Amino acid sequence: MKIGFIGCGKIAQILIGYFVESGIVDSDQIICSDLDQGALEKAATKYGINVCVSNSEVFDKAEIVFLAIKPQSFREAVSDCADRINEKHILVSIMAGVTSDTIKSILNAPVIRVMPNIPCQVGQMAAGYSVCDDVPGIYEMFVKQLLNCAGVAIKVQESELDAVTGVSGSGPAFVAYLIKGFIDTGISLGLESENAKALALQTFIGTAKLLRETELSPEELITMVSSPNGTTVAGREVLENSDVNSVIAGTIKRATERSQELSK
C-alpha cells in the first residue's frame, strides 16, 4: 500500500522514520507534501521518500493518507482534495481535536484517528487510536502495525480520545514535572546534579519496566518495596497524607476537558 502524508512536521517525520526502519514499507512507497520546502528536503534526504508540493497529488498516489497538519489549517490544506477521494482511500488523522465526522464532512473517506505522544521520538510512543465502522479490517490491522513501530498503539472508542489526550498525550509533561521534583530534591539533599538526574530517570524507567514486564499491579509493587518501619513506609506517610491523588486527578482531568473544549 502507498502511504501519504499531508504535512511533514516533526511527528510526521518521526513516524516516517520508524515505518521505513521497520521494513514494513519501503521508502519509495511513501509520498509527503508540505508548504515548508525545507522540511520536505530534509525528509527526502534522510529517508529517501517521495515528496511533492501539492496535497492533492498525495491523494492521487497514496491509499492511506496521514493528516499530519495543524487542526486550524485542515480545511485550507485539503480545500482542493475532496474530488481526489475514491473508494480506496483511508484517512489517518493525528490532528488533535478534529472529530472523524468533521473530517468526513470535508473528505468523504473512512477515518482512523490517532493521539500520539512525544516519546515516539525514541520509539516509546503511547498512542490511542479509534476506528470508524467503515474502515476495512485489513487497513485497520496495517495501520496498527505501522503505529506499533513507534511504540504501543491502543484501540479505544473515539469518545475516549480526549481521556487519552489527558493521560498519554499530555502525560509526558506531567511525568517530567514529577521527575524534576525527584532530581531537585536529590540535589537539595546533597547529590551531585548528574547523579540525581541519572538516579531519578532510571528509577522511573525501571519502575515502569518492572510493572509492565512482571504484570505486578502498582499496589503490589508498593507493598513489595515497603518494609515495615522502613524508609519507604516513612516516605509514604507524607505522600499518602497529602492531596497528591487529587492533584494528579485534577491535572489529567483538566487536560482532558481542554481537549474536549478544543474539539468544539
Residue by residue, pLDDT tens for the chain (264 residues) are 899 999 999 999 999 999 999 999 999 999 999 988 999 999 999 999 999 989 999 999 999 999 999 988 999 999 999 999 999 999 999 998 899 999 999 999 999 999 999 999 999 999 999 999 999 999 999 999 999 999 999 999 999 999 999 999 999 999 999 999 999 999 999 999 999 999 999 999 999 999 999 999 999 999 999 999 999 999 999 999 999 999 999 999 999 999 888 877
- In angstroms, the CA 53 to CA 58 distance is 9
- In angstroms, the CA 165 to CA 177 distance is 17
Q: Residue 262's pLDDT is what?
A: 81
Do 127 and 107 contact (CB within 8 A), yes or no? no
Q: Residue 29's pLDDT is what?
A: 96
Query: Is pTM beyond 0.75 here?
Result: yes
Query: Residue 18 to residues 15, 32, 44, 147, 158: CA-CA distances in angstroms?
Result: 5, 15, 14, 9, 25
Cβ-proximal residues to 50 (8 Å cutoff; 6+ apart), any chain: 28, 30, 31, 32, 44, 61
Amino acid letter, 148: N
- In angstroms, the CA 239 to CA 243 distance is 8
Do 46 and 17 contact (CB within 8 A), yes or no? yes
